């Protein structure tokens, strides 16, 4: 079983749609969680951290369920500029801070 798993997609959605990405992780001792965005195989960049209570940043909402070892990202009112690959990232601090990436979920937003 992979340490961090995501649905690879691709997700093809029209502008204005709401889309949700899911991610599961296997190490119950994982302590920090992130969503990164990657454009056209450029370097990944942080989209948002994921906190236990859930957090929102504009159109983006992240949720964490530690009991189920599950992370989600919701994008509301999708824009063309949201087209990218979204990477779920888990920090295994009990292993010296290993940052483990999921394989990424590709999103394509169409006019």
Partner 1 sequence: NAGVTQTPKFQVLKTGQSMTLQCAQDMNHNSMYWYRQDPGMGLRLIYYSASEGTTDKGEVPNGYNVSRLNKREFSLRLESAAPSQTSVYFCASSGQEGVTEAFFGQGTRLTVV
For the CB of residue 91, give the shortest distance to partner 1 in the complex, in Å. Answer: 4
CB 59 within 8 A of CB 75: yes
Contact between 103 and partner 1 per CB under 8 A: yes
Interface positions, 68-97, toward partner 1 (CB under 8 A)? 87, 89, 91, 93, 95-97
For the CB of residue 70, give the shortest distance to partner 1 in the complex, in Å. Answer: 18
Cα angle 101-75-21, degrees, rounded to a multiple of 5: 40
Interface positions, 16-35, toward partner 1 (CB under 8 A)? 31-32, 34
Among 8, 12, 65, 77, binds partner 1 (CB under 8 A): 8
Q: Please give the Cα distance from 36 to 84 (Å, whole number).
A: 10
For the CB of residue 3, give the shortest distance to partner 1 in the complex, in Å. Answer: 8
| Token digits of residue 101 | 């990436």
Distance of alpha carbon 23 from its chain centroid, rounded? 7
Contact between 58 and partner 1 per CB under 8 A: no
| Helices (H) then strands (E): counts for the chain | 0, 11
Q: Please give the Cα distance from 61 to 34 (Å, whole number).
A: 12
- Chain residues binding partner 1 by CB under 8 A are 3, 6, 8, 31-32, 34, 41-46, 49, 87, 89, 91, 93, 95-104
């Amino acid at each position: 079983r992979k340490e961090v798993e995501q649905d690879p997609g691709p997700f093809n959605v029209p502008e204005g749609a709401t889309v949700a990405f899911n991610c599961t992780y296997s190490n119950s001792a994982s302590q920090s969680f992130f969503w990164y965005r990657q454009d056209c195989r450029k370097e990944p960049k942080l989209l948002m951290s994921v906190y236990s209570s859930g957090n929102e940043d504009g159109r983006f909402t992240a949720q964490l369920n530690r009991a189920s070892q599950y992370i989600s990202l919701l994008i509301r009112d999708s824009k063309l500029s949201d087209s990218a690959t979204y990477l779920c990232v888990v920090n295994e601090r009990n292993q010296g801070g290993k940052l483990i990436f999921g394989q990424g979920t590709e999103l394509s937003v169409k006019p």
